Amino acid sequence: MNSLSSDVSLIVDTDTGSDDAVALLMAARLPGVSVRAVTTVYGNIDLGQATRNALVTLDMAGRSDIPLYQGIEHPLLRRQADAEFVHGSDGMSNVKLPEPTRSAGLEHAVDMLRRIAVEERGKHTLVTLGPLTNIAAAVVLQPDFLECFKRVVVMGGAFDGVGNVGRAGEFNIWSDPEAAKIVLDAPGLLTFVGWDISRCYAVITSEEQAELRALGPIGQFAVDINKAVNDYAIAQTGLAGYDLPDPIAMAVAINPAVALETRAVNVDIGMDDAGQGGTFIDHYGHLVDEPNCEYVAVADEALFKQMLRDACES
């Protein structure tokens, strides 16, 4: 089965924890996909560890040629809070990982993002897998930043109102709601893939984990680094295995057909304690007529899982 619709060039912004790493494997290994650059941001784990995890993952994928730049290490205004309790203290379930073969590039991620956006306008799809701090900084410096991309796909939000941090907040938006607001208010079309999509269409059961591991070392790596999330998901959210928010967002970025249904809506971001990071939809246009984004409402689970297997095949 060919899991791709056409060639795509990506820029990936990631707070590399264990599911980001699987998304990076998909970007780096699926045929027809090129990765122009990877940028890192604090989030699931601190910035240094996120950078290290991304570098090791690209090494695993045999893609140490992909340029990687380090970005911002804390939210714009809020205190940083990581997700070690979900992903393990290294963000990768504390499996023994090798040392990365290189360091991040010297240019700051935000400078690099702006440079490529301008010099290579219209060529790339931007995929964000972590808090939106790097992207907000780029937007502040260059208001048309988002319009420089073919598409912008954001893993973030909880469009069923069920947060994984607090009441309504999904981690990436909750971590830096001011950055999310800056990005949402900027011109350009954003496609959100929320945590709800991950829980409905991207849960990897123990049988599927065994199938992935049987594909070889890449499949084993992809499963083993998610052991901590597996334990957390089963105990805390009642899922049948670990879910993969960033990989299903990556699948939507690579192949728009993974999104079976999208809805154009106006969303605002919760800023107060009770609603921090919530992605609140103006369902009936009571407040604003104009949509400011679209979100994925239904995804193709079979196509996503085929892409995942294709990426893990050694």
170 binds ligand RIB (CB under 6 A): yes
Q: Which stretch binds ligand RIB (CB under 6 A): 16-24, 182-190, 216-224, 274-282?
A: 16-24
Beta strands 241-243 and 203-205 are antiparallel
**245: partner contacted, choices Ca ion, ligand RIB, none (Cβ within 5-8 A by kind):** ligand RIB
> Is 164 a residue that touches ligand RIB (CB under 6 A)?
yes
Among 13, 19, 90, 176, binds ligand RIB (CB under 6 A): 19
What are the structure tokens assigned to 113, written together?
Answer: 């993002």
Q: Which of 88, 100, 130, 169 binds Ca ion (CB under 5 A)?
A: 130
Give, in order, the Cα–Cα distances in Å from 263 to each of 77, 159, 295: 30, 11, 5
**Does 35 help bind ligand RIB (rule: CB under 6 A)?**
no
Residue number, 155 or 183, with CB nearest to ligand RIB: 155
- Check: CB of residue 126 under 8 Å from CB of residue 151: yes
Q: Which is nearer to ligand RIB, 20 or 300 (CB)?
A: 20
Does position 155 interact with ligand RIB (CB under 6 A)? The reply is yes
Structure tokens at 81: 């809070």
Does 129 bind ligand RIB (CB under 6 A)? Our answer is yes
d(CA 250, CA 12): 9
Q: Is residue 44 near ligand RIB by the rule CB under 6 A?
A: yes
| Binders in 222-251 for ligand RIB, by CB under 6 A | 245-246
**Among the candidate windows 15-23, 138-146, 201-209, 284-292, which touches ligand RIB by CB under 6 A?**
15-23
Min separation Cβ 296 and ligand RIB, Å: 14
| Complex with Ca ion: residue 24 or 267, whichever CB lies closer | 24
Q: Taking CB under 6 A as the rule, does residue 130 contact ligand RIB?
A: yes
Residue 195, interface with ligand RIB (CB under 6 A)?
yes
**Least CB distance from residue 43 to Ca ion, whole Å?**
6
Q: State the SS3 of 265-298.
A: ECEEECCCCCCCCCEEECCCCCCCCCCCEEEEEE
Please report how close the Cβ of residue 14 comes to ligand RIB at its closest, in angstroms.
8
Amino acid at 289: D
Q: Looking at 111-119, 165-173, 176-184, 209-217, which segment touches ligand RIB (CB under 6 A)?
A: 165-173
CB count in 10 Å sphere of residue 140: 14
Among residues 240, 195, 218, 176, the alpha carbon closest in space to that of 308 is found at 218
The encoded tokens of residue 85 equal 């309790």
- Residues in contact with ligand RIB by CB under 6 A are 17, 19-20, 43-44, 129-130, 155, 164, 170-172, 195, 245-246
- Residues in contact with Ca ion by CB under 5 A are 15, 20, 129-130, 246
